[in-house]
Amino acid sequence: MRRKRNAKIIATLGPGRSSEKEISELFVAGADVFRLNFSHGAHAEHKARHDVIRRLEKVHGRPICILMDLQGPKLRVGEFEGGGAELVAGQPFRLELSEVLGNDVCASLPHPEIFAALKPEMDLLLDDGKIRLRVVRCGDDYAETEVVTGGPLSNHKGVNVPSAMLDLSPLTPKDLKDLEYGLELGVDWVALSFVQRPSDVEEIQALVKGRAGVMAKLEKPSAIDFLDEIVELSDAVMVARGDLGVELPPEDVPIIQKRIIASCRRRGKPVVVATQMLDSMVNAPTPTRAEASDVATAIYDCADAVMLSAETAVGKYPVESVSIMDRIICRVELDPLYRRMVDSERQAPEHTVADAISAAARQCAETVSAVAIVTFSSTGSTTLRVARERPAVPILGLTPFAPVARKLCLAWGVHAVRTKDAQSFSEMVGKSIRISRREEIAISGDAIVVVAGIPFGTPGGTNILRVAKVD
């Protein structure tokens, strides 16, 4: 069962889609990766979904990727008298560290790290940016503000501080427990929320220890100041446009999205575009034209994957959401302009043997009209370097390890297959031919390009290329 497109689809699972039948329908419709959102649900619920996905792998005979998404710190105001209050523009409003019951002139903000970072003239955004406060005076346990944009404010609404870097780890005690549980389950990717600085990625990498890929969610403006360093330290990146859109002006978000994708492309790191891609389909059977265009833009920019959140987790039309996203991707990738854009944005190879071989494989495939590039890799690094080249033919990623095959399901253009390791180069070529035929990628008479490393099983040792004829 092979997709006829390069970009991948991530579908979020939730209470609305948890049974084996429902998850199977999403997979058949086009989902390549399933996201388990640890902001919601008990461990037992996530395990049940994990087990269903692993059973589906056996049913469909192909690896399926699982992404766990950590909640991260949640900064919120306290409780209000009567459950809420109305804030009026131009009026003063006081935030206090102490646990006072809020009203229309004050509220509790139980986060000392926010007060430590505040300065006069800074803005605070409440309830996803619906309310804006400007700091007039502040101290270690209070902030006197003026309401710039008023409105209703109720218990435990979120707080954003767009212009400050908070002295706060992205990993809460809950996240640490969730992380260890997810790694024990065997998730393939871990998405880290609230990334502000490169050291945040280093912190989680030290805990994961290679047991899964680490995906940095870029949702804080401060992270953009360290964009290249964060991309370099991460295994993949997610453009979390929802939170970016709260803390940044709307006109900045598309530009930041393109910057992030370009940085990931240069380094050959998978990049995911997420949040509200087909949001209207939570309640409607078809997307808006603007949403279809939004998905298409991410594909034209060569993102590795696009993600559905509420559309599949709690929406009324989850299968339709995946199907329409699949159709949009396929249609864009058939557009002659798409290939011209891909070729024009191709990055120069880095000065390594692996990149030289990967670039040569793409050029060779074009010259001899090969139908596929076949990669042998024990870690997936060879396959990702070839995917960085965005070739015009499918990439058949062969690996002896199931976790590597699953991780590669996120990467652009890769059809991942687990196979036994080869003991010689001739055996490797033979496997490439047989599996290409079996996966209906090649037929007799076709040419394939084989890329691997000698000696076998050596990570990062890509150093050989061979053109083979399928018999």
- CATH code of the domain in which 61 resides: 3.20.20.60
Q: Domain span at residue 50?
A: 8-72+170-338
End of a domain among 160, 194, 223?
160
**What's the helix, strand, coil split of the chain in %, to 5?**
40, 25, 35
pLDDT of 460 reads 61
Q: Indicate whether 244 pLDDT > 80.
A: yes
- CATH code of the domain in which 365 resides: 3.40.1380.20
Say whether 190 sits in a helix, a strand or coil: strand
What pLDDT band is residue 456 in, cutting at 50, 70 and 90?
low
User: Residue 165 domain-assigned?
Assistant: no
Do 176 and 238 have their domain in common? yes
Do 43 and 129 have their domain in common? no
Average pLDDT, the chain: 95
Mean pLDDT for the stretch of residues 367-371: 97
User: How far lies 254's CA from each of 75, 191, 309, 442, in Å?
Assistant: 26, 21, 19, 39
**Sequence-ordered strand ranges (E) for 38-112:** 65-69, 84-87, 92-96, 106-108
pLDDT of 453 reads 80
User: Residue 324 domain-assigned?
Assistant: yes
What's the one-letter identity of residue 145?
T
Do 188 and 306 have their domain in common? yes
User: Residue 110 domain-assigned?
Assistant: yes
Do 264 and 322 have their domain in common? yes
Taking the model in full, what pTM does it have? 0.94
Domain count, the chain: 3
Phi and psi at residue 11, to the nearest 5°: -115, 130
| pLDDT tens figures, 144-193 | 999 999 999 999 999 999 988 999 999 999 999 999 999 999 999 999 99
Do 227 and 376 have their domain in common? no
User: Residue 460 domain-assigned?
Assistant: yes
User: Residue 347 domain-assigned?
Assistant: no
Tokens of 31: 């989902």
Q: Indicate whether 226 pLDDT > 90.
A: yes
| pLDDT tens figures, 246-287 | 889 989 999 999 999 999 999 999 999 999 999 999 999 999
Do 103 and 14 have their domain in common? no
User: Residue 332 domain-assigned?
Assistant: yes
35 CB neighbour count, 10 Å cutoff: 26
Do 101 and 60 have their domain in common? no
pLDDT of 469 reads 96
What pLDDT band is residue 423 in, cutting at 50, 70 and 90?
confident
Do 255 and 199 have their domain in common? yes
Do 363 and 321 have their domain in common? no
**Closest among 419, 337, 436, 314 to 12, alpha carbons compared:** 314
User: Residue 227 domain-assigned?
Assistant: yes
- CATH code of the domain in which 151 resides: 2.40.33.10
End of a domain among 160, 184, 201?
160
End of a domain among 110, 131, 160?
160
Do 182 and 200 have their domain in common? yes
CA dist 12 and 69 (Å) reads 10
Do 400 and 284 have their domain in common? no
Write the DSSP assignment of 280-345 as a string of letters.
Answer: GGGTSSS--HHHHHHHHHHHHTT-SEEEESHHHHT-S-HHHHHHHHHHHHHHHHHSHHHHHHHHHT
Alpha helix (H) residue ranges in 61-119: 112-117
What radius of gyration do the chain's Cα atoms show? 24
CA dist 423 and 417 (Å) reads 18
Do 38 and 18 have their domain in common? yes
Say whether 129 sits in a helix, a strand or coil: coil
61 CB neighbour count, 10 Å cutoff: 9
What's the one-letter identity of residue 328?
I
Mean pLDDT for the stretch of residues 226-247: 95
User: Residue 346 domain-assigned?
Assistant: no
CA dist 217 and 235 (Å) reads 11
pLDDT of 224 reads 95
DSSP at 197: S
